[in-house]
Amino acid sequence: MIKNPLLNMRQRLGVYRATHQCALVATQAADSRLFEIRNANTDAQRVIIPMQLKVTWLQTAAHTAAILDNLNLIKGTTFTAVDSANVVTPTAVALRTGGPAAPGGALLRGVTVAGAAAGMTGGTVTRSSPVARLPKWLLLAQPTGAEAKPDIVDLLKGDLAEGGHPFILGPDEGLILENGVLLGAAAGSIVSVELTWAEAVAS
């Protein structure tokens, strides 16, 4: 039986989902930021609980050389400002009827849809080591003999299994999805993100 982490919260404020899609491009930098969520609440009791982070990764072009890359999920602390350069702002949609139509404390950013080699920049955050990874072997030659299959994973699934514990993000904390290694002069893939989270008052 999967435990609902919201059962220990005094007040559930809303449940939301946002999506984002972007390209990984030539010379994509190591540790370049692709997507992020920050808890911008000033009240220490207002928390964000990420429930699902589904990432889909599809190679779309040949690479300079075959390379093993990773998409890394990072926890951010002292996260006082989201990125401001090479960004778009994904729109959150409320999943729970009767709650607030828009999230109260979540700030979302994604790298521009066409991609940016440096990723998003301009934010203020202390990064952790990766807490989850999606590896992918990017090929020298783009496969054309059959339909290309994307890699799909929920990077938060293990945290919500019985006996596990979800991320509970307090003020100035967040999650960041980053590219792992420096890509070559030729590269191309598409990353899609679906994030579902709840906002609540901690008990």
Q: Tell me, letter by letter, the H, E, C secondary structure of 97-126.
A: CCCCCCCCCEEEEEECCCCCCCCEECCEEE
In a domain, 56, yes or no: yes
Residue 164 clears pLDDT 80, i.e. is over it:
no
In a domain, 102, yes or no: yes
In a domain, 10, yes or no: no
Residue 24 clears pLDDT 60, i.e. is over it:
yes
Residue 86 clears pLDDT 70, i.e. is over it:
yes
The average pLDDT across 162-176 equals 86
In a domain, 52, yes or no: yes
In a domain, 50, yes or no: yes
- Single-letter amino acid, residue 188: G
Share of the chain above pLDDT 70, in %: 87
The three-class DSSP label of residue 6 is helix
Q: pLDDT at position 131, please?
A: 94
In a domain, 13, yes or no: no
pTM over 0.85: yes
Residue 40 CA, distance from chain mean position: 16
Greater confidence (49 vs 203) lies with: 49
Q: Could you give the CA distance from residue 68 to residue 183 in angstroms, rounded to a whole number?
A: 10
The average pLDDT across 43-72 equals 95
Please count the structural domains in the chain: 1
In a domain, 1, yes or no: no
Residue 2 clears pLDDT 50, i.e. is over it:
no
**pLDDT tens for each residue of 131-157:** 999 999 999 988 777 778 899 999 998
Domain enclosing residue 101, as ranges: 18-202
Q: Could you give the CA distance from residue 141 to residue 19 in angstroms, rounded to a whole number?
A: 29
Contact (Cβ atoms closer than 8 angstroms) between residue 59 and residue 132: no
